[in-house]
Structure 1
Amino acid sequence: MSERYNRIQFANNGPWAAFSQNEIYRWAGELNKEALHIRVLFAGMSRMNSLGHAQFGMGELARLIGTVTGGEVKARRPDSVSVAIKEAKKRGFIAPESNARCLVLRHHVFQKSTKARWRCPVHDLD
């Protein structure tokens, strides 16, 4: 079998990540409209690098998990974002050092290809 068939390929041959399907399945069962901690987790998963760090600009996470009113995105209040991050930490979805500027995913559950590695200025990691 050629190498072409032995490797994981996604759309446009983009970067990939591996997740514990058992854990994601368990977490998916907790999903509901008000579960901002789940949306925080998925935000982190969507942006994580190979170190497990997912960086966001100032206020970007608040907008990402915001609400849509009249076709316009309304950012969550900072206290709502903080509560969601605290709940995600409490449930073990993200690491204790996570914050609104950088969500840190746990390596035993989340892994990503080594090609997707970049510096994390929030946590001062290379």
Structure 2
Amino acid sequence: MRLLQQLRQKQLIAAAAATAAAAAATAAAAAAAAETMTSDCPVLFTDVICSRRQQQQQQQQQQEQQQQQQPLEQQQLLQQTQHEEQQQQEQQQLEQQQQSHKREEQQQQQQQEEQQQQQQQEEQQLTASG
């Protein structure tokens, strides 16, 4: 259940990254359009282009970092899930061993009681016959 929630979160992060990539592409197109207009007003548009390029580079770097980080997070999530499953299996094995041990003790106790009853019957028969 928790695994599904975490996978959904990863999908949302991936969708956000795709949205950021689309925004970066739009910014790149706007910067390209602005570059063609720089001849009219070079100083103003050059500043805008520089700041947009910096934004693009930052967005691209963030996107690359997210893409690198996602497989690591998924791997950690998988390892954590496997570890939890292993712990559950170990717990089940321990419970089974305890139940088996209890059954053995009950069987031994039952055998002892039967032996005691048998001895009492034999003693009663001896006293009755003697």
**Structure showing the higher helix proportion among its residues:** 2
Same fold judged by TM-score > 0.5?
no
Larger C-alpha radius of gyration, 1 or 2? 2
**What TM-score do the two structures reach when normalised by structure 1?**
0.22
**Structure showing the higher strand proportion among its residues:** 1
